[in-house]
Amino acid sequence: MLPNFIKINQYKLHIVGLLFGWLLGFAVFAQEIQIEIPKTEIAMNESLQIKISVINGKVNDYSSFPTIKGFTKSDISSGDRQALISGRLTQISQLVQNYRPTKEGIYTIAPFTLTVNGKQVSFQGATITVTASVSSSSAYDFWSAPDLESEIEVVREDVFLAVATDRKEIYAGEGINVIIAFYALQSSPYLLKFPDNLFQQLSAVVKKLKPENCWEENFNVGGQIIPTIVNIRGKDYQQYKIYQSNYYLNQAGEVELPQISLPLIKLHPGKYGREEAKNYNSKPIKIKVKPLPPHPLREKVAVGLFKLEEKIGQTTLQTGQSVNYDFQISGQGNFAFLREPDTRRTPALEVYPPNVQQQINRENSRVTGSKKFTYMIIPNEPGAYNMSDYFQWIFFNTEKQTYDTLKPQISIRVEGESRTDNSISNTGSGAYYDNIYKLDNSLSSLESTDIWISVVSFVLAASAIVSIVLVLVAALERKKLK
C-alpha cells in the first residue's frame, strides 16, 4: 500500500496534468480560421482571390481549393499582418489561391468546405462579376509576368528543371525572387508525374540552394502543383512551380545559387506507355551583389522602393492634450527588418515610443507591405510644429540608386498656456519619463517581442492557476488525513 504523501503527490500530478491539458486546449481553441473572397468584382487583368486567414496561428496545411467555372487556378500567394483585436495586437497568417478569369461575365461560386490545419471550414459561396481590363495608369496588371528568356539560358529538352531569378545584379539588402520549377514543352506528348516525397527532397535541396546570411520571405507555393503557361524563346511551356521565395542578400560580393537535382517521372502516351523516372539538374546562377554607397547609416538603412502615408487625429490642439500620429511606410522591400523612423524628442513636444503594426504580402514575384508606427504626442508649449522637424526615415532608393528620406507634410498648431514646468514637476512616475529624451531609439523585433509577451503571460497565468489548485488539493488532503 502506497504512503499517503505519495497518494497526495499522484493526485496533485493528475490535477496538474488535467489543468495543463485544459490550458493547452484553450490556447489551440483561441486559433480562429476564416475563408473569404476580398473582392467580388474584378477586371480581366486582376485576380480572383480565395483567402484563408488564421488568427493566432499559421497556415500549416490545407486541402485543395475548388475548381471555378470561368477561371483557371493559378499561383498561391501568402501574407502576414498584425491587427488590433479587442485591444490586443494579434498575428494573422494568410494564404491566397489566385484565379485568372477567362472572359467577362457574372459567375456563381457554390458553397464549399476546406480542411485547414486539420479543421473543416466552410464558405457560403459568392457571385463574381468580371469586367473589362482596367487601363488606367494606376492599375496594376496582376498577370504581368517576368520574362524568363534571359533567365533560362539553354533549353534543349522538352522537359527540364530550372532555377530562375528575376535579376542577376542587386544592391546589398535588396531582394531577388527565386523560383524552382519543372518545365514541359506545351506540344510535348508526355504526361508528368511527381514522386510522393518530392517536397521532402525539395526541403533538403533548398537548404543547399539558400545562401548564408540572407533573410528569406517564402511564398509557400508548395503542396499543390498547378501548371501555368510561360513563353521561353518563342515557345510555350507548362511551368510547374514547386518553390518561390525572396532572398535578401546583405553582403556585397558574388553569390552563387548552386546546381540542384530533383526527380520527375515522365509518362509516355499510348496504351502501352511506360514510366521513365529521371533526376533532372538545374544550372547554377551567379548573382552580383553591389555595395551601397558610403553613408553613416549604410549598415542600417532599408533598401527598396518606399513611400510615406501619414495621419493625425487633429491638427489644432491645446497644451497638455494628447494626439495620435501615424507614420506608415509602404512599398517594396524587406519589412521584417525595417527600423523605426529617426525621432526627435523635446520637453516642448513629448513624443512617446510607438505602437507598431506590420503587414507583408508575397504575391506575383513581389514582396510588398507596410509598417505603421503610431506615436502619442503631447505638446507642452503653444506654437506651430512641423512633424518633419521631429520625424524622418532614411532609405536607399533602388530606382534612383541613391539615399532618400521620407519626411512628413503634416503640421499642428498648439494653443494654451505653457506646461513645460508643470509637466516636469508633476512627473512622479520615476526616472523613465525624466530620461525619455535620452532613450535608445533603435527598433527591436516586434514579432519576437510579441511571442515572448504571449509566452510569459501564458506561463504566469498557468502558474497562478496551478498554485491555487495545489493549495486547494493540499487543504482537502489535510482534512481527509485528520
Q: DSSP string covering 58-114, please? A: ----B-PPPP-TTEEEEEEEEEEEEEEETTEEEEEEEEEEEEEE-SSEEEEEPPEEE
In whole angstroms, how far apart are CA 309 and each of 330, 357, 476?
7, 14, 62
Average pLDDT for 166-184: 94
The whole-angstrom separation of Cα 310 and Cα 410 is 8
For residues 352 and 423, which has the higher predicted lDDT (pLDDT)?
Answer: 352
Range from 171-175, 279-283, 331-335, 434-438 carrying the lowest mean pLDDT = 434-438
The whole-angstrom separation of Cα 243 and Cα 228 is 14
The pLDDT value given to residue 229: 84
Q: Is the confidence at residue 246, as pLDDT, over 60?
A: yes
Range from 87-91, 127-131, 260-264, 410-414 carrying the lowest mean pLDDT = 87-91
No. of H helices and E strands in the chain?
5, 31
Enter the CATH code of domain 33-139.
2.60.40
Cell of 130: 468580371
- Cβ–Cβ < 8 Å for 54, 78: no
The pLDDT value given to residue 273: 63
Range from 65-79, 119-133, 294-308, 332-346 carrying the lowest mean pLDDT = 65-79
Domain residue spans in the chain?
1-30+444-482, 33-139, 145-291, 302-436
Cell of 372: 505603421
Fold agreement (33-139, 302-436): yes
Q: Is the confidence at residue 472, as pLDDT, over 80?
A: no
Greatest mean pLDDT among 127-141, 215-229, 325-339, 466-480: 325-339
The whole-angstrom separation of Cα 226 and Cα 241 is 7
Fold topology of 302-436: Immunoglobulin-like (2.60.40)
The whole-angstrom separation of Cα 320 and Cα 350 is 10
The whole-angstrom separation of Cα 38 and Cα 316 is 37
Can you tell me whether residue 475 is helix, strand or coil?
A: helix
The pLDDT value given to residue 465: 64
Phi-psi category of 470—alpha, beta or left, where left has phi over 0 and alpha has psi -120 to 50? alpha
Average pLDDT for 196-209: 93
The pLDDT value given to residue 89: 79
Query: Which residues touch 404 (CB under 8 Å, ≥6 apart)?
Result: 394, 395, 396, 397
The pLDDT value given to residue 474: 63
The whole-angstrom separation of Cα 330 and Cα 80 is 15
Mean of all residue pLDDT scores within the chain: 81
The pLDDT value given to residue 431: 33
For residues 89 and 15, which has the higher predicted lDDT (pLDDT)?
Answer: 89
Q: Is the confidence at residue 32, as pLDDT, over 70?
A: yes
Q: Is the confidence at residue 168, as pLDDT, over 90?
A: yes
Average pLDDT for 229-237: 84
The whole-angstrom separation of Cα 356 and Cα 343 is 14
The pLDDT value given to residue 462: 60
